């Protein structure tokens, strides 16, 4: 069997998000959507597939009573980011299933992590510093720009 955990980015694209280069970015207050997909890649029927989520057990846990070969089942949920969490969040979905009656070997279902980064909230102020006429109705304008981050998190 296979298990995949995805994170939906701000454009609505589901990302595997297994390594930092694939992590979507969110800000405090954003909703983060997850999808967990279990696929039966074996020959027999999987029963009592128990899926767990290490950071969101009450939202990410679910049970699949029966899963035929080639069939998949998915579960989606979302969280809202609150202040005070880490800058990088990685949580892992795992699953177990009952040992089939015609086998003595329990099914192997590898766990799958998915991560995202929490970024700060950049703001900027633009101020006209000077305006000097340079002739022919043209002006040389000089602006000052101050960029600040209203969060304790890093931003770009």
- Where are the CATH 2.60.40.10 domain residues in the chain? 2-119
Q: Is the dihedral of CA 27, 33, 34, 39 positive or negative?
A: negative
Per-residue pLDDT of 23-76, as tens digits, reads 999 999 999 999 999 999 988 899 999 999 999 999 999 999 999 999 999 999
Distance CA 11, CA 26 (A): 11
pTM tops 0.75, yes or no? yes
CATH of domain 2-119: 2.60.40.10
């Amino acid at each position: 069997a296979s298990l995949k955990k995805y994170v939906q980015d701000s454009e609505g694209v589901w990302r595997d998000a297994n390594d930092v280069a694939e992590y979507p970015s969110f800000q405090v207050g954003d909703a983060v959507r997850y999808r967990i997909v279990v696929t039966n890649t074996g020959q027999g029927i999987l029963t009592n597939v128990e899926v767990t989520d290490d950071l969101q057990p009450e939202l990410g846990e679910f049970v699949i009573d029966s899963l035929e070969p080639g069939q998949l089942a998915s579960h989606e949920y979302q969280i809202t980011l609150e202040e005070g969490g880490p800058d990088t969040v990685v949580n892992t979905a795992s699953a177990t299933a009952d040992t089939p009656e015609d086998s003595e070997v329990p099914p192997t279902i590898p766990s799958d992590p998915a991560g995202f980064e929490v970024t700060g909230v950049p703001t900027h102020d633009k101020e006209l510093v000077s305006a000097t006429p340079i002739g022919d109705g043209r002006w040389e304008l000089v602006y000052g720009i101050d960029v600040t981050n209203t969060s304790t998190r890093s931003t770009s």
